[in-house]
Amino acid sequence: MLYFQLVIMAGTVMLAYYFEYTDTFNVHVQGFFCYDNAYTKPYHGPETSSAVPPVILYAVVCGLPLLLITAIESVLFLLQYVSEDLDNREKIIVMGDCCYLNPLVRRTFRFLGVYVFGLFSTDIFVNTGQVVTGNLSPHFLTVCKPNYTALGCMQTARFINQKGVCTGNEDDIMRARKSFPSKEAALSVYAALYTAMYITLTVKAKGTKLAKPVLSLGLICLAFLTGINRVVEYRNHWCDVIAGFIIGGAIAVFMSWCFHPPIMQLVLTSRENYAPPPRRDMTIFTTAGSRGGAELQREDPAERDTTGGESGRQCSYDGPAPHHGQHHGEVHSLTEF
């Protein structure tokens, strides 16, 4: 099973590599209208000149969750090590037929492996959408620099759907054809949401009720600002950023749902372990009548339930049997409410 998972991980990484650094998958060439205002926004330079350059984005997306998960798992393991809970746990876990891992190493690898797999899956989803749709970025016509005179663009309603109409830089043009969905928005939201869910569901130490939401909301806020920056710099449309948020968030929730069942178990356990408040131990009194008077007797509810038969009702009468037409005593049972 371990080898099968490694093969899947390797295949996912290779597919993401082919999408990013090769021309194996050709981008769909989408047409445009002459002088379309939606694609004539100013160009703020290459991605390296952005307020959130790719180097910083990828460093935070890849490095910050890995460091947080490793640090939290190490602290949790040390807390268990100094407590008595470690005596009841396995000291060595067998992985397949060759690997013997410490529980700390196994847990850390599990969380990190799931995160890395989801990160590459998000990249594949986004690249697939960009290649298939070929949506144009807001600054496409600015970097395309088409020759409107040669194309006969005397009217703005003319639609251009020809290849080779652009005279600008090829790399900038190709990048401007991959606007939907926004990769930066998808990766940032995936990293923020996965890390926030991990912190919320894993850290149970006292005194962290306020620290956990502050840290989680801070990460989500950074992802939100990353998407806003893409719109402000006219590198993506609003719909591109929203689609990236949805893809990244959906994959983060899906990965946590499938590989970390405690997300659902927290809800189910809280419902299954609910116990209604105990009923009061009510004392049932019956009156046993006799010719000389009435006597008040105490009846135990437990004895009533075990000896009362199918109806659960027990009547006690200590006096002699009454004659017809005479009322010597009444028996009252408060077993039914």
Q: How far apart are CA 24 and CA 115, in angstroms?
A: 26
Nearest to 58 by CA among 106, 119, 110, 125: 119
pLDDT above 70: residue 37: yes
pLDDT at 217: 94
Write out the two tokens for 11.
């295949």
DSSP single-letter state for residue 87:
G
CB 238 within 8 A of CB 181: no
Average pLDDT over residues 9-14: 93
Identify the residue with better confidence: 257 or 136. Answer: 136
Comparison of pLDDT for 150 and 39, the residue scoring more: 39
pLDDT in tens, 299-327: 554 444 444 444 444 444 455 554 444 44
pLDDT value of position 35: 87
At 44, the pLDDT band (50, 70, 90 cuts) reads very high
Look at residue 266 and tell me whether its pLDDT is greater than 70: no
Q: Phi then psi for 288, rounded to 5 degrees? A: -105, 120
Name the percent of the chain lying above pLDDT 90: 46
In this structure, of 17-26, 49-58, 82-91, 244-253, the range with the lowest mean pLDDT score is: 82-91
Cα gap 159→47, rounded to integer Å: 29
Query: Tell me, what's the pLDDT at 110?
Result: 87
Mean pLDDT of all residues in 119-136: 96
Helix (H) or strand (E) holding 99: strand 99-101
Q: Which amino acid is at 95?
A: M
**pLDDT at residue 301 in the model:** 47
Helix orientation angle between 103-133 and 238-259, rounded to the nearest 10 degrees: 150
Average pLDDT over residues 225-253: 96
- Over its C-alpha atoms, the chain yields an Rg (Å, rounded) of 35
Per-residue pLDDT at 160 exceeds 70: yes
Q: What Å distances lie between residue 63 and 51, 127, 194, 204, 226, CA to CA?
A: 19, 22, 13, 24, 17
User: What is the average pLDDT across 279-296?
Assistant: 47
The residues spanned by each domain of the chain are 2-267, 283-337
Q: What is the mean pLDDT of residues 170-186?
A: 94
pLDDT at residue number 231: 96
pLDDT, position 105: 81
How sure is the predictor about 59, in pLDDT bands with cuts at 50, 70 and 90? very high
pLDDT of residue 177: 94
Q: Can you give the pLDDT at residue 273?
A: 52
Share of the chain above pLDDT 70, in %: 70
Q: pLDDT value at position 293?
A: 46
